[in-house]
Amino acid sequence: MTYVLIAVALLAVLVGVVITIKRNNAIRQGGIETDAVVSRIKENETRNDDGSRQMHYTYYVQYQTEDGQTVEAKLGKAPLRIAVGDRLRIKYLPEKPKYVIPV
């Protein structure tokens, strides 16, 4: 039973990775490039097995689509050392504007 659960969990992770890679490739190839502003940074602290702390950050950007819609989206693979208010170039898919990657 335990092996089945481990196999299912690994399969779910693998599927998630494949979907993310495909989505990011679609954005790179057919996405629209625009300016965005870092709107917020979410911090999440975890503890390692040895008791040490590790911080994880999720970055969000706000931008306007070509049709004038204002969108806040989670930034995939954020560049190092960015802060709220920083400007950066992103790409997004018009049909899925919540998915963005830095240029």
Residues belonging to the chain: 103
47 band by pLDDT with thresholds 50, 70 and 90: confident
Long-range contacts of 41-48 (CB under 8 A, 24+ apart): 41/83, 41/84
Higher pLDDT, 83 or 14: 83
Find the domain containing 58 and state its range: 2-102
Which pLDDT belongs to residue 16? 59
Q: What is the pLDDT of residues 11-22, one digit of tens each?
A: 777 765 667 777
Number of domains in the chain: 1
